[in-house]
Amino acid sequence: MLVYIICVSCLISFLHFCIGSPKGDQFSTGRIFSFWGRFVTERWLVIEEKLNMKIEKELKVIQEREIIILNQKLRNHQNNSEKIIEEFNKKILTERKRLESNKGINLYSALGSCYICFGTWISILSWINLIIIENLDLYWLFLGIPTSVILSKYVKIEKPTY
């Protein structure tokens, strides 16, 4: 079983290397499937931009509402203006963090942009095939998938230099 885990880990690393090792907005060219890495990177950036624009729109609405409240507080309590402005800034920062944590899912991460997501899908497919072909017990699915993905982070494949 250890051999299967190592083989699936190497497969994950090899496939990620072949597609150009996309990571966020970066990918490597000149690899056999680097066109896929370029595709995933371009689509990932478009979705990220849309998600960020959505966050900025929502934050702008919240800021406008809070500015009205801030102006009312400043008119009523001119003595504590620094404290009121500090509370306003904290509230806006908290809202930004809340919106960013509920940002949404970028499905292109699973297609290669996120190494763990990509590795998980490859591992699931590989272990399902191994269980069917080798007639393994089903618990190997739950043991093999996370172990392969974690181990694949330590398998480094680099482009050879001549």
Q: Please indicate, yes or no, if residue 24 is contained in any of the structural domains.
A: no
Q: Quick one: pLDDT at residue 146? A: 94
Count of CA atoms in the C-beta half-sphere (13 A) of 120: 10
- Name residues whose C-beta falls within 8 Å of residue 26's C-beta, 6 or more positions apart in sequence: 41
Q: Quick one: pLDDT at residue 54? A: 92
Q: Quick one: pLDDT at residue 57? A: 94
Q: Quick one: pLDDT at residue 31? A: 82
Range of the domain at 58: 45-111
Q: Please indicate, yes or no, if residue 25 is contained in any of the structural domains.
A: no
- Same domain as 119, residue 72: no
Q: Please indicate, yes or no, if residue 161 is contained in any of the structural domains.
A: yes
- Same domain as 121, residue 106: no
- Same domain as 96, residue 142: no
Count of structural domains within the chain? 2
- Same domain as 98, residue 125: no
Positions in the chain short of pLDDT 70: 160-162
- Same domain as 96, residue 128: no
What's the predicted TM-score (pTM) here? 0.72
Q: Please indicate, yes or no, if residue 40 is contained in any of the structural domains.
A: no
Q: Quick one: pLDDT at residue 162? A: 66
Q: Please indicate, yes or no, if residue 32 is contained in any of the structural domains.
A: no
Q: Quick one: pLDDT at residue 161? A: 66
Q: Quick one: pLDDT at residue 33? A: 86
- Same domain as 127, residue 107: no
- Same domain as 100, residue 54: yes
Q: Residue 102: exposed, middle, or buried by beta-carbon count in 10 A (0-12, 13-18, 19+)?
A: exposed
Q: Please indicate, yes or no, if residue 148 is contained in any of the structural domains.
A: yes
Provide the phi-psi class of 105: left if phi over 0, else alpha when psi is between -120 and 50, else beta: beta
Q: Quick one: pLDDT at residue 78? A: 75
Q: Quick one: pLDDT at residue 74? A: 82
- Same domain as 107, residue 135: no
Q: Quick one: pLDDT at residue 80? A: 78
Q: Please indicate, yes or no, if residue 34 is contained in any of the structural domains.
A: no
User: Is 106:4 a contact under the CB 8 Å cutoff?
Assistant: no
